[in-house]
Homo-oligomer: A and B are copies of this chain.
Amino acid sequence: MKRWMILAVALVLPLFGTVGAGEGMWEPKQLPDLEKELKAAGLQLDPATLTDLTGHPMNAVIDLAGCSASFVSPRALVITNHHCSWGTLQYNSTEENDLLKNGFLASTLDEEIPAAPGSRVRVTVEVTDVTDQVTGGLEASLSGAERFDRIEQREKQLIAVCEEDPGHRCRVQGFYGGLQYNLVKQLEIRDVRLVYAPPKSIGVYGGDIDNWMWPRHTGDFSFLRAYVAPDGSPADYAEENVPYEPEHYLRVSAKGVDVGDYVMVVGYPGRTSRYRLPSELENTFEWAYPTTRRIFDRILEIIAEQSVGRPDVELKYAATVSGLNNANKNRQGMLDGYASSGMLERKRETMRALQAWIDSSAERKTEHASTLQALNDLIIKSQTTQERDMLLRRLGRSSMLSTARRLYRLSREREKEDADREPGYQERDMVPFRQRLQRMDRRYHPDVDKALWNFYLEEYQKLPADQRVVEFDGFLGLDDPSQLPARIDAMYAETKLGDTETRLNWIEADRAAFEASDDSFIRLAVVLYNGDREREAEQEAEAGEFQAARSRYMETMLAFLGSRGESVYPDANSSLRVTFGNVRGYQPRDGILYTPFTKIEGIREKHTGEDPFDSPQSQLDLIEAGDYGMLALESIGSVPVNFLSNVDTTGGNSGSPTLNGRGELVGLLFDGTYDSINSDWDFNTETTRSIHVDIRYALWVMSKIDKAHNVLEELGIDLAPTGR
């Protein structure tokens, strides 16, 4: 009964102090404008401190490219999600020691092992508005292709200058559809090592079944470390490298948060589409997502068929399968939300309001009238070949074909000056280029690759003749489909690109060598080359047109929203953002409430002994014994495992530190609820919730189960001895 009371009170608390919190992935520089809302939500820091990217806490937040993370010790200990270390765990696994399954703990620096090739720790050190340098003086009369080229050229130049500072990587990112451009300068650390990850039965507890779901009980955390050369400069992996010494790192609060408390997530959200037109929304939900679901389902079937009785295949495609399942559940959630939420109608309503606002002023009519129509026309046009474009993209995803294409293209790009080369083929790209080729091995099996290619080819052959690629059809003899199976077999038999050594050797080869090769996929890449460039040019021209149309549209939209007094944040674009809100549950449906915290007893409740609900016995025993250490949250009477908040996050935010009002780390963002999946398009204050792993659960696992005492010590966490 006491439990009921506590839960009920827990549901009342979040009502206070939440004004203005929730929606918004803010650029750090915007935060001072939100001081009132931040303070009301419970921030105890001066918002101005959050605009200093070289200060605490912003400088401690890390971009892992696809994930976020943070420094949590003066020796560059990094905390991120378990699922952000999945690739590294897989990379270091052997048939004898499956690190995913068993977990990993280095008790000393010496025992730390290299992260997967290409792993990077990037710290944003400077963000500069370069809109003028990128789009200044570009006449409206430019063709799409001209606009694209000019912007690309200018961006490359800005990057080149920026990267003259050694150890740094720079990029130019568009905001508001290209209305604003930022030059982002990041320190890039290339020697990343694995320190500690709990076993899969904790780190991935609930697996695909619980993915996107609440209630959740996943220990989605792991630890890495950033290493640099003895002189402190970023360097490739080398034994003599030493831990990096970050200027700032986050303090971990073992006290955590309670219901209603302020939380703030700092990280690198990947992509949202909050300002899209109704026609894009409709096409995405009625064509793109259902199509993707269908294709992903088939890919999963093919991988499953190929994996029967072959653990090596299963291991190589484990991450792919997990990613596809994740994406499928995401898409299904999108579709469910689309069907029930009325978001298309709301979007149309906004458009009608925007149109009315334009129409109600002669001045605005002059300035904005054609904006919507122009963008919409472009959208409709781009949709006409979307089926073909999608299939060509998928065909190009064959590991063999994509490798051959990239290698041959490199030989062609190398014929130009470095500055003139296509982004991705410049000297600055060669390390990741090589690593990607190296890494492929771990996630590639020729039988699966072939089976997938065969599936795409079947789909491709259903295209009308005028949408087909003549060179492709000719090379594969598609005029006689009965020969295709034999032809595909031959393609895979006659290529050596599956061999890592061979692949890497091709990096240095010149164009002539490719054109003389009898490797089947290289020959195909050569045959396709000119056509590929033509299609690429078309796409670039379209991108140029979009840049012009969408930035104009966003200008109109910003003026409109500003006229309504709304604060506006840009769509996510993998740049550093801050979102803030409060710990709170929600009502997903009539009759059901989700409480903001789960507790360790819920792990036992879900335990079946079968993956993904196969908790370690030691954990079950500790739970049964009620051995909470110092880590219980009084209001729930147990150790909290995961919690909900109303902050605004998306993919890419994974691993982001969740900070309390004092900027201390209290958890890690790792997921959103099923009801929140649509938030990429449409944030719903009532039901959009992010899911965090509670730091107290991480500390409890480290202390009680995995005995990661060295890590705890490095975090400065002193838990009372428990005699275990």
Task: Report which A residues bind B (CB closer than 8 A).
Answer: 1, 3-5, 7-9, 11-12, 14-15, 214-217, 339-340, 587, 589-595, 597-599, 601-602, 605, 608
When the two chains form their complex, are residues B3 and A15 in contact, meaning their CB atoms are under 8 A apart? Answer: no
A1 to B260 CA separation, bound complex (whole angstroms): 13
- A4's contact among B14, B216, B591, by CB below 8 Å, is which? B14
- A592's contact among B5, B9, B590, B595, by CB below 8 Å, is which? B595
When the two chains form their complex, are residues A589 and B215 in contact, meaning their CB atoms are under 8 A apart? Answer: yes
When the two chains form their complex, are residues B587 and A602 in contact, meaning their CB atoms are under 8 A apart? Answer: no
When the two chains form their complex, are residues B605 and A598 in contact, meaning their CB atoms are under 8 A apart? Answer: no
When the two chains form their complex, are residues A605 and B592 in contact, meaning their CB atoms are under 8 A apart? Answer: no
Could you show 20 A-B contacts with beta carbons less than 8 Å apart?
A4-B11, A4-B12, A4-B587, A5-B15, A7-B11, A7-B587, A7-B593, A8-B12, A215-B590, A215-B591, A215-B592, A216-B591, A217-B590, A589-B602, A589-B605, A590-B601, A591-B597, A592-B592, A592-B594, A593-B593
When the two chains form their complex, are residues B9 and A15 in contact, meaning their CB atoms are under 8 A apart? Answer: no
Shortest distance in angstroms between A205's beta carbon and chain B's nearest beta carbon? Answer: 13
When the two chains form their complex, are residues B590 and A599 in contact, meaning their CB atoms are under 8 A apart? Answer: yes
Contacts of A3 in B (CB 8 A): 587
A214 to B214 CA separation, bound complex (whole angstroms): 17
Kindly name the residue among A12, A216, A608 whose own CB sees the greatest number of chain B CB atoms within 10 A. A12
6 new A-B pairs (CB below 8 Å) besides A214-B591, A592-B593? A1-B15, A4-B587, A5-B12, A8-B12, A9-B12, A590-B601
Contacts of A12 in B (CB 8 A): 4-5, 8-9
Shortest distance in angstroms between A613's beta carbon and chain B's nearest beta carbon? Answer: 11
- A593's contact among B590, B595, B602, by CB below 8 Å, is which? B595
Contacts of A597 in B (CB 8 A): 591
List the 7 shortest-distance A-B pairs measured between CB atoms, nearest first. A215-B591, A590-B602, A8-B11, A593-B593, A8-B12, A591-B598, A8-B8
A460 to B233 CA separation, bound complex (whole angstroms): 79
When the two chains form their complex, are residues A591 and B602 in contact, meaning their CB atoms are under 8 A apart? Answer: yes
- A15's contact among B4, B217, B587, B598, by CB below 8 Å, is which? B4
Contacts of A591 in B (CB 8 A): 214-216, 594-595, 597-598, 602
Kindly name the residue among A7, A590, A593, A595 whose own CB sees the greatest number of chain B CB atoms within 10 A. A590
Shortest distance in angstroms between A675's beta carbon and chain B's nearest beta carbon? Answer: 12
Look across to chain B and name the residue whose beta carbon is closest to the beta carbon of A590.
Answer: B602
Shortest distance in angstroms between A61's beta carbon and chain B's nearest beta carbon? Answer: 29
Contacts of A340 in B (CB 8 A): 605
Shortest distance in angstroms between A292's beta carbon and chain B's nearest beta carbon? Answer: 22
Contacts of A15 in B (CB 8 A): 1, 4-5
Kindly name the residue among A9, A14, A592, A598 whose own CB sees the greatest number of chain B CB atoms within 10 A. A592
Look across to chain B and name the residue whose beta carbon is closest to the beta carbon of A3.
Answer: B587
Look across to chain B and name the residue whose beta carbon is closest to the beta carbon of A12.
Answer: B8
Look across to chain B and name the residue whose beta carbon is closest to the beta carbon of A642.
Answer: B591
Contacts of A598 in B (CB 8 A): 590-591
Shortest distance in angstroms between A189's beta carbon and chain B's nearest beta carbon? Answer: 38
Contacts of A4 in B (CB 8 A): 11-12, 14-15, 587
Contacts of A14 in B (CB 8 A): 4
A595 to B590 CA separation, bound complex (whole angstroms): 8
Contacts of A7 in B (CB 8 A): 11, 587, 593
A463 to B601 CA separation, bound complex (whole angstroms): 45
Contacts of A217 in B (CB 8 A): 590
A602 to B4 CA separation, bound complex (whole angstroms): 24
A601 to B592 CA separation, bound complex (whole angstroms): 13
